């Protein structure tokens, strides 16, 4: 197992380097000259002389590879530069928004599991029952309803009519209930269906037949043999959803007026705040890669065939 | 498996118990004298000498000017009780109000005022758009309460421009940065105004407490909480739910939502007098709009009243001139371009744009196609653009709509790469002088739109003259000439005079609209 983990982590290094290079080059390809952006943000008249001076100050006149390595060196020290708009260090700004997003992500993730695991298992065990039909209905609506609309419906019902939760804000736990439901609805629906179909797949496998033939308790059969094997696609999907949520949920943050990273990011893109965009792309790429790594490790735990991989295959 | 189910069941039960209990009754969080306001963007660092991302309404709560702007352009006492302008117009002497303190206890006196003005003058470049700063030569303090501002030339709008929310307002000298100027940042937003920033969480909320040492009439409310809500529909719902007391501004909620709140009869809903002008600039130096007759035809072909009814629900009066008649020097009886499709058609025929059937007109094999550039996230502009497109198709002009994100749209205003572009005026107290002054600066849509006019040099010369004029008759004369030329040359398509809207709960009293577009009357409100 340790060998497997070390191998997977080493594989990350070239991936992350590649990401940093692409992030850096993407900014070079963007339409507005960073020097002009900074001047405009600071209300300095955009003249040739002012642009030249600003390019010099931002170090944009140096050769690209030097700019890249200089930037990378700072990034490795967690220094993503200062925001063009506020002049504050970028990482500090991102960290201001991170707690809200983190809380929202955790609530949502718990909610997804709370809904999807029981619903998926029951839908598979009682295939084509009333419950299965209902979970199918839930899946269709979950994937079809746009989140902003669902958000407003929930606000209308739970805040305006039932007066249970506040419309907006981020102070207390109550503020996160409606946004978490809004965000969890779609992924939970998909997760439920994924779990159901992979459970059904597993149920029809020979090892289940043998287990039953050996007289193993049905509970053991479902728990040990079916459920554990059926979890693989769900883990993948859940991992990706988790990373996705962590990198910000712009629409839901807007609807519920939550100060999360998604909103901050969109504002940065619209005002061409390049250092913030770079920091954000790097961090979310890092998040996705790490979550993928964790998913792979969980795979290895759930299914020994994967962690043993090609290495020990020949020994069998 | 069994354990898993048990665990899930436990969590579910816990959630059922915990979650409803965290919903608190909302009335509990509000003290009786707290007014909750909402805004779409973070209030920013509140540096009085700088611009965005600080929000003007918030800067206005904390900082004050030497003189204030009254309705119709009247100059009222502020931090200065009296003032005098020398006969050559080059020296302004202010008698400062005595006994005024910054909210940190530092006295506001001539030395503090001078220090602030010098910070602004050290960064002249940032204030290039503002004639006053360019004309200011030096500042002197005499004794405790006499401030003298020397100008390079006579500059008649100097007093008007001293009323602006930024950049000539006063920060406590103790809040100046240790090194460098305020252009690089300030230690804390400390002003003399009626409110003091007490709590702040970026992009979430800002709390202003009443300044108990305020020299003027203190506000009735003890506290103003500004909640940052980016979405207009959420704002309207939060208002209905009683989480917000007041919605005030332009574009903060959709006009559909405004109409719904107004029609419900449960709230007070009001529309301000006209502020600035929504307009489209027509580029006289590019494409088919170089042709005066095409520009005039566009004016005649646009059915404004239909747009105002359908898009603005008649909340905005129709605009026929670039500046409304309320703007000083602008009430000069210009003849509006009437909605007249036949006139538009005959103008285009005369200009040689031929039409086959119902298609697009052509001249020398070139179709009469022009582009209208707008900010794609501005729903009102988008709706106006679509209506204009339909109206112009009737007279054979093919209008292409070019919706882009805000920065690209601003890029086009600056570079002049447009045929038609949305370009609103700035509202009081910037009109007409500051707005006209900017018409001479490249990198403004106004300059670019006018740059193809044969008399552009003369327009610029006259604008330069009017700003340093000392004689009222000459000034009136020059304004009339410039505004008439611009109107006749049809470089602007005025649409409507935009307004601020206000919606508030019936337990608020003392409401009135403010004379400047970017002020919010929070100091006047009382809550029952």
Asked if B443 lies within 8 A of A31 by C-beta distance, the reply is: no
Residues of B in contact with A117 (CB under 8 A): 4, 8
Q: Contact B243/A255, CB-based, under 8 Å?
A: no
Q: Which residues of A touch B127 (CB under 8 A)?
A: 43
pLDDT of residue B17: 52
Question: Which H helix or E strand runs over B351?
Answer: none
A156-179 pLDDT tens trace: 888 888 888 887 777 777 888 888
∠B227-B231-B237 over CA atoms, to 5°?
75
With 80 as the cut, is the pLDDT of residue B15 above it? no
Whose CA is closest to B274, among B334, B321, B330, B324?
A: B324
CB < 8 Å & 24+ apart, contacts of B334-338: B334/B483, B334/B484, B334/B487, B337/B296, B337/B299, B337/B300, B337/B490, B338/B300
Asked if the model's pLDDT at residue B52 lies above 90, the reply is no
Say how many C-beta atoms besides its own lie within 10 A of residue B181's C-beta: 16
As given in the structure block, the two tokens for residue B113 are: 């005022």
pLDDT at A227: 83
| B6 confidence band (pLDDT: 50, 70, 90) | low
Using the predicted structure, report yes or no on whether residue B318 has a pLDDT greater than 60.
Answer: yes
* Whether residue B449 has a cis bond before it, omega within 30° of 0: no
For the cut 70, the answer to whether the pLDDT of residue B502 exceeds it is: yes
- Which secondary structure element, helix H or strand E, spans residue B138, and what is its range? strand B136-142
Question: Is pLDDT at B24 greater than 50 in this prediction?
Answer: no
Burial of B237 (0-12, 13-18, 19+ CB in 10 A): buried
Distances (CA, A) of B67 to B79, B119, B219, B237, B401: 6, 19, 19, 39, 44
Residues in B touching A34 (Cβ below 8 Å): none
B238/A168 CB distance under 8 A: yes
The candidate with the shortest Cα–Cα distance to A99, out of A254, A291, A261, A263, is A261
Q: What share of chain B has pLDDT > 90, as a percent?
A: 45
What is the mean pLDDT of the segment spanning B102-109?
Answer: 90
Q: Which residues of A touch B261 (CB under 8 A)?
A: none
Is the pLDDT assigned to residue B413 strictly greater than 70? yes
Question: What mean pLDDT is predicted for residues B371-399?
Answer: 91
pLDDT given for residue B66 in this prediction:
92
- pLDDT (0 to 100) of residue A223: 78
> Which residue, A137, A146, A102, A120, is CA-closest to A246?
A102
Overall average pLDDT of the B134-138 stretch = 89
- Which pLDDT belongs to residue B28? 42
pLDDT at A315: 39
Nearest CA in chain B to A44: B126
B201 touches A at CB < 8 Å = yes
Confidence grade of residue A9 (pLDDT, cut at 50, 70, 90) = confident
pLDDT at residue A30 greater than cutoff 80: no
Could you tell me the pTM of the whole model?
A: 0.82
Span B68-84, mean pLDDT?
88
- The burial of A194, by beta-carbon neighbours within 10 Å (0-12 exposed, 13-18 middle, 19 or more buried), is given as buried
> Is the pLDDT reported for residue B162 higher than 50?
yes
What pLDDT shows up at residue B284? 94
User: Which of B249-258, B347-356, B416-425 is predicted with the least confidence, judged by mean pLDDT?
Assistant: B249-258
Cα separation values, B272 from A129, A236, B501, B503, B512, Å: 61, 55, 6, 11, 9
Mean pLDDT (whole number) for B367-383: 89
pLDDT-derived band at A313 (thresholds 50, 70, 90) equals very low
Residue B506 has pLDDT above 80, yes or no: yes
Decide if pLDDT at B22 tops 60: no
CA atoms of B501 and B520, how far apart (whole Å): 11
Nearest CA in chain B to A219: B1
Q: Does B414 contact A at CB distance below 8 Å?
A: yes
Contacts of A152 in chain B (CB under 8 A): 233, 237
Average pLDDT over residues B284-292: 92
Backbone angles phi, psi at B249, to 5 degrees: 140, -165
Residue B12 pLDDT exceeds 70: no
Query: Do residues B295 and B420 make contact, with C-beta atoms less than 8 angstroms apart?
Result: no
pLDDT at B23 over 50: no
Distances (CA, A) of A52 to A34, A48, A49, B183, B254: 11, 6, 5, 20, 42
Residue A297's pLDDT is 82
How far apart CA A236 and CA A292 sit, in angstroms, is: 8
Q: Is B186 exposed, middle or buried (0-12, 13-18, 19+ CB in 10 A)?
A: buried
Shortest alpha-carbon distance between residue B528 and chain A (Å): 23
pLDDT band at B25 (very low <50, low <70, confident <90, very high): very low
Q: What tokens were used for A300?
A: 């290895």
Contact of A38 with A63, CB cutoff 8 Å: no
In this structure, the dihedral spanned by the alpha carbons of residues B162, B166, B167 and B170, taken in order and rounded to 10 degrees, is 80
Question: Per residue in B488-497, pLDDT tens?
Answer: 999 999 999 9
Q: How far is CA A306 from CA A4, A51, A300, in A?
A: 10, 56, 5
pLDDT-derived band of residue B9, with 50, 70 and 90 as boundaries? low
Rounded alpha-carbon distances, angstroms, from residue A280 to A73, A92, A98, A287, B458: 17, 12, 11, 10, 50
Other beta carbons within 10 Å of A99: 13
Q: What is the DSSP letter of A89?
A: B
Interval A84-106 mean pLDDT: 86
Q: Is B202 on the interface with A (CB under 8 A)?
A: yes
Pairing between β-strand B369-375 and β-strand B398-404 as defined by DSSP bridges: parallel
Cα–Cα distance between B400 and B406 in angstroms, integer? 18
Task: Check if the interface score ipTM surpasses 0.90.
Answer: no
Answer whether B150 touches A (CB < 8 Å): no
Residue B248 contacts residue B502 (beta carbons within 8 Å): yes
Chain A residue nearest residue B124, CA to CA:
A44
Q: Which residues of A touch B410 (CB under 8 A)?
A: 40
β-pairing, B34-39 vs B67-69, is: unpaired
Q: Indicate which of B14, B407, B410 best probes the interface with A, i.e. most A CBs within 10 Å of its own CB.
A: B407
Residues B55, A235: Cα–Cα separation, whole Å: 45
Would you say residue A36 has pLDDT above 90?
Answer: no
Give the mutation candidate from A31, A32, A41, A43 for the B interface (greatest B CB count, under 10 A).
Answer: A43
B237:A156 CB<8 A: yes
Residues of chain A with C-beta less than 8 angstroms from the C-beta of B28:
none
Tokens of B133: 């700063």
| pLDDT tens figures, B228-268 | 998 888 899 899 988 899 999 888 888 888 989 999 989 99
Mean predicted confidence (pLDDT) in B421-439? 87
| Residue B184 vs residues A81, A96, B120: alpha-carbon distances, Å | 16, 22, 12
Segment B47-69 mean pLDDT = 90
Q: Do B227 and A257 lie within an 8 Å CB cutoff? A: yes
pLDDT at position B32: 63
Residue B338 confidence class, pLDDT cut points 50, 70, 90? very high
**What is the pLDDT confidence band of residue B20, given thresholds at 50, 70 and 90?**
very low
Question: DSSP character for B374?
Answer: E
Mean pLDDT of B416-430: 89
* Range picked from A243-247, B12-16, B435-439, B494-498 for highest mean pLDDT: B494-498
- Region B100-118: what's the mean pLDDT? 90
A85: which chain B residues are within 8 Å (Cβ-Cβ)? 53
Of the ranges B9-18, B224-233, B418-427, B474-483, which one carries the lowest mean pLDDT score? B9-18
Residue in B168, B178, B223, B172 with CA at minimum distance from that of residue B32: B223
State mean pLDDT over B516-522. 88
pLDDT band at A316 (very low <50, low <70, confident <90, very high): very low
pLDDT bucket at B202, cuts 50 / 70 / 90:
confident
Measured in whole angstroms, how far is the alpha carbon of residue A1 from the centre of its chain? 26
**A184 near A141, Cβ under 8 Å?**
no
Average pLDDT over residues B437-455: 88
Question: For residue B21, is pLDDT > 60?
Answer: no
B337: left (phi over 0), alpha (psi -120 to 50) or beta: beta
Preceding amide of B352 cis, omega within 30? no
What confidence tens digit (pLDDT) does each residue in B34-47 have?
A: 999 999 888 989 99
At B62 the pLDDT is 94
Mean pLDDT, to the nearest integer, of B338-362?
91
What is the pLDDT confidence band of residue B27, given thresholds at 50, 70 and 90?
Answer: very low
Name, of A7-11, B283-287, B414-418, the range with top average pLDDT: B283-287
C-beta atoms of A263 and B1 within 8 A = no
Short-list B334, B286, B279, B323, CA closest to B302: B279
- Is the CB of residue B441 less than 8 Å away from at least one CB of chain A? yes
Measured over the CA atoms of residue A144, residue A146, residue A150 and residue A153, the dihedral's sign is negative
Mean pLDDT of chain B: 87
In the predicted structure, residue A90 carries a pLDDT above the cut 50: yes
* pLDDT of the residue at B1: 47
CA-based nearest distance B467→chain A, Å: 21
């Amino acid at each position: 197992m340790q060998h497997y983990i070390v191998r997977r982590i080493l594989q990350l290094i070239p991936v992350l380097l590649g990401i940093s290079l692409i992030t850096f080059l993407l900014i070079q390809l963007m339409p507005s000259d960073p020097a002009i952006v900074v001047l405009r943000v600071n209300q300095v008249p955009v003249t040739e002389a002012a642009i030249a001076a600003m390019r010099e100050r931002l170090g944009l006149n140096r050769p690209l590879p030097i700019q890249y390595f200089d930037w990378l060196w700072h990034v490795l020290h967690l220094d993503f530069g200062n925001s063009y708009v506020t002049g504050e260090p970028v990482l500090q700004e991102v960290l201001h928004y991170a707690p809200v997003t983190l809380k929202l992500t955790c609530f949502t993730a718990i909610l997804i599991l709370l809904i999807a695991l029981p619903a998926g298992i029951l839908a598979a065990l009682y295939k084509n029952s009333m419950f299965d039909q209902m979970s199918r209905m839930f899946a269709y609506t979950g994937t079809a309803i746009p989140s902003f609309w669902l958000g407003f419906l929930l606000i209308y019902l739970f805040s305006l009519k039932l007066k249970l939760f506040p419309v907006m804000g981020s102070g207390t736990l109550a503020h996160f209930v409606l946004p978490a439901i809004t965000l969890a609805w779609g992924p939970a629906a998909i997760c439920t269906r994924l779990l159901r179909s992979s459970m059904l797949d597993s149920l029809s496998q020979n090892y289940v037949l043998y287990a039953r033939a050996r007289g193993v308790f049905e509970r053991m059969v479902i728990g040990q043999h079916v459920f554990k094997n059926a979890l693989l696609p769900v883990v993948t999907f859940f991992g990706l959803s988790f990373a996705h949520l962590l990198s910000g949920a712009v629409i839901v943050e807007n609807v519920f007026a939550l100060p999360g990273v998604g909103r901050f990011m969109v504002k940065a893109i619209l005002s061409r705040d390049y250092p913030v965009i770079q920091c954000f792309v790097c961090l979310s790429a890092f998040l996705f890669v790490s979550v993928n790594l964790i998913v792979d490790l969980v795979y290895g735990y759930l299914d020994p065939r994967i962690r043993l991989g090609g290495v020990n295959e020949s020994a069998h | 498996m069994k354990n898993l189910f048990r665990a899930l069941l436990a969590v579910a039960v816990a959630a059922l118990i915990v979650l409803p209990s965290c919903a608190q009754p909302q009335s509990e969080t509000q003290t009786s004298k707290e007014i909750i306001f909402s805004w779409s963007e973070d209030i920013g660092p509140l540096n009085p000498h700088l611009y965005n991302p600080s929000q003007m309404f918030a800067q206005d709560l904390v900082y004050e000017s030497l003189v204030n702007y009254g309705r119709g352009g009247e100059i009222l006492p502020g931090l200065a009780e009296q003032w005098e302008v020398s006969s050559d117009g080059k020296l302004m002497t202010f008698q400062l109000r005595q006994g005024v303190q910054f909210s940190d206890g530092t006295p506001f006196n001539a030395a503090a005022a001078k220090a602030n003005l010098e910070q602004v003058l050290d960064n002249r470049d940032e204030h290039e758009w503002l004639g006053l700063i360019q004309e200011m030569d030096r500042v002197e303090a005499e004794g405790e309460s006499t401030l003298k501002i020397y100008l390079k030339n006579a500059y008649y709008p100097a007093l008007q421009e001293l009323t602006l929310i930024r950049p000539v307002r006063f920060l406590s000298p103790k809040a100046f940065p240790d090194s460098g100027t305020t252009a690089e940042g300030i230690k804390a937003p400390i002003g003399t105004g009626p409110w003091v920033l007490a709590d702040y969480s970026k992009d979430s909320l800002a709390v202003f407490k009443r300044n108990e040492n305020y020299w003027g009439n203190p506000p009735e409310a003890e506290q103003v909480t500004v909640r940052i809500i980016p979405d207009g529909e959420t704002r309207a719902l939060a208002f209905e739910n009683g989480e917000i007391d007041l919605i005030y501004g332009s574009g903060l909620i959709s006009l559909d939502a405004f109409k719904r709140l107004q029609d419900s009869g449960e709230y007070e809903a009001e529309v301000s007098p006209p502020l600035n002008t929504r307009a489209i600039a027509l580029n006289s130096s590019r494409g088919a709009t170089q042709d005066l007759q095409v520009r005039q035809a566009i004016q005649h072909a646009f059915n404004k009243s239909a747009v105002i009814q359908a898009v603005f629900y008649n909340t905005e009066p129709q605009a026929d001139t670039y500046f409304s008649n309320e703007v000083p020097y602008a009430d000069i009886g210009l003849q509006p371009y009437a909605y007249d499709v036949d006139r538009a058609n005959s103008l285009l025929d005369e200009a040689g744009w031929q039409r086959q059937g119902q298609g697009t007109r052509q001249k020398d094999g070139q179709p009469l196609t022009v582009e209208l550039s707008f900010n794609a996230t501005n729903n009102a502009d988008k709706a106006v653009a679509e209506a204009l497109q339909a109206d112009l198709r009737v007279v054979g002009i093919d209008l292409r709509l070019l919706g882009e994100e805000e920065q690209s749209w601003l890029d086009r205003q600056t570079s002049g790469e447009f045929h038609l572009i949305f370009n609103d005026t700035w509202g009081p107290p910037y009109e007409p002088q500051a707005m006209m002054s900017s018409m001479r600066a490249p990198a403004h849509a106004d300059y670019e739109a006018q740059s193809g006019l044969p008399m552009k040099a003369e327009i610029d010369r006259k604008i330069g003259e009017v700003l340093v004029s000392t004689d009222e008759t000459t000034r009136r004369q020059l304004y009339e000439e410039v505004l008439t030329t611009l109107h006749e040359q049809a470089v602007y398509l005025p649409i409507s005079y935009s307004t601020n809207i206000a919606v508030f709960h019936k337990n608020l009293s003392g409401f009135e609209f403010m004379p400047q577009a970017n002020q919010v009357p929070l100091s006047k409100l009382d809550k029952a």
